Structure 1
């Protein structure tokens, strides 16, 4: 069984995000980029499936700018066998929308015929949380979202999902799309020898046109702004004054 893992290049989660002076978007110039943390968890789970003998090959896919090669090399260093880069934008500020990504992934799935697609539940840059669900709809495959536990047994997979009320366990038929949550696993660090080996692993480069997909944006960002700064606190002299202030704030 092949495992396909889409990964996205995003601003590193340790970096403080800055908005452009003209409010047209987030400033990505000279900013450290890395693999989306949820996608990193998906890569780790795919590698664990291979180590457990439940998968033969792990394929990492990234759709975006040419610089996403670095993200794919990280996935290869972690243990993925090969990678596919779909260059769909020239500007790092151009974000490929979920539907276009899902259409490209569908074309890749049709070519590669994986038994499972493991993806992050969302990207930390736009928080869309839509690509996995759209891909499931386009393929007509079953899906398990927000997975905190995954067990594959023959032609079925048991998925424990993180939902608002707690945990939900479902059984889905294979092939399937699984979007992973934070508590599924702890991603491994890529060792130096594996980083060196990753440079020799195959990385195919394609374009969106190769798959016949139009990536022209359908959404327009009208403005981006920093959140309001936190207001200063108020020091009160007694419990009665605190209660009075709370009532005052609650009445506003």
Structure 2
């Protein structure tokens, strides 16, 4: 079985995001970029499937700018076998929309014929949480989202999903689209020897035109702004005073 893992290049989760002065978007100048944390979990799970003998090959794919090569090399250093880079823009500030990403991934799936797609449930830069679901619709495959446990059982997958009410366990037929959540695993660190080996692993480069996909944007960003600063708290001297304060603000 082949496992396909889409990975996205995003601002590192340790970096405080800055908004451009004109409100046109996020400032990416001299900002550290890294693999989306949810995608990193997906890569780790794909490698574990291969180590368990349940997968034969792990293919990482990334869509965006040329610099996404760095993100793919990280996936290769972790243990992916090869990578596919789809260069969809030259501007690092251009975020390819989820529908366009899903269409590109559908074209890659048609070529690669994987048995399962493991993707992060969302990207931490736009929090769309839409690509996996759109991809399932385009392929007609089963889907399992917000997955915290995964067990491949022949031609089906038993998954545990994190839902508002707790945990939900379902069985989906293969091939399938799985979007992973935080508690699925703890991604490994790439060792120096594996980082060196990753430089020699194959990486194919394509464009949306090669795959016959139109990526013309359908959304327009009107403005980008910082969230409102959190107001200072109030100290109270007793429970009665706390209740009165809550009544004043309409909380009780």
CA distance in 2, matches of 1:148, 1:11: 24
List aligned pairs for 1:96-175, cutoff 5 A.
96-175=96-175
Q: What secondary structure sits across from 1:209 in the alignment?
A: coil
Q: Which residue of 2 aligns with 1:13?
A: 13
Question: Cα deviation per residue 1:195-250 (whole Å; 9 max; x = unaligned)?
Answer: 00000000111111111111111100101111111222234445443332221111
Q: Which residue of 2 aligns with 1:220?
A: 220
Q: What secondary structure sits across from 1:216 in the alignment?
A: coil
Q: Which residue of 2 aligns with 1:182?
A: 182
Q: What secondary structure sits across from 1:247 in the alignment?
A: helix
CA distance in 1, matches of 2:123, 2:194: 26
Task: Call closer, same or farther: CA 1:238–1:155 in 2, change over 3 Å.
Answer: closer
CA distance in 1, matches of 2:234, 2:56: 61
Higher deviation after alignment, 73-82 or 231-240: 231-240
CA distance in 2, matches of 1:147, 1:197: 31
Q: Supply the RMSD in Å over aligned alpha carbons.
A: 1.2
Q: What secondary structure sits across from 1:242 in the alignment?
A: helix
Unmatched segments (≥5 aa) in structure 1? none
CA distance in 2, matches of 1:54, 1:166: 28
CA distance in 2, matches of 1:223, 1:94: 14
Question: Cα deviation per residue 1:110-156 (whole Å; 9 max; x = unaligned)?
Answer: 00101000000000000111111111111111111111111111111
Q: Which residue of 1 aligns with 2:54?
A: 54
TM-score, normalised on structure 1? 0.97
Q: Which residue of 2 aligns with 1:33?
A: 33
List aligned pairs for 1:90-101, cutoff 5 A.
90-101=90-101
- 1:244 and 2:244 equivalent? yes
TM-score, normalised on structure 2? 0.97
Task: Call closer, same or farther: CA 1:241–1:93 in 2, change over 3 Å.
Answer: same
The alignment covers a number of residue pairs equal to 252
Question: Cα deviation per residue 1:1-58 (whole Å; 9 max; x = unaligned)?
Answer: 1100000000000000111100111111110000000000000000000000011100
Unmatched segments (≥5 aa) in structure 2? none
CA distance in 2, matches of 1:244, 1:174: 57
Q: What secondary structure sits across from 1:194 in the alignment?
A: helix
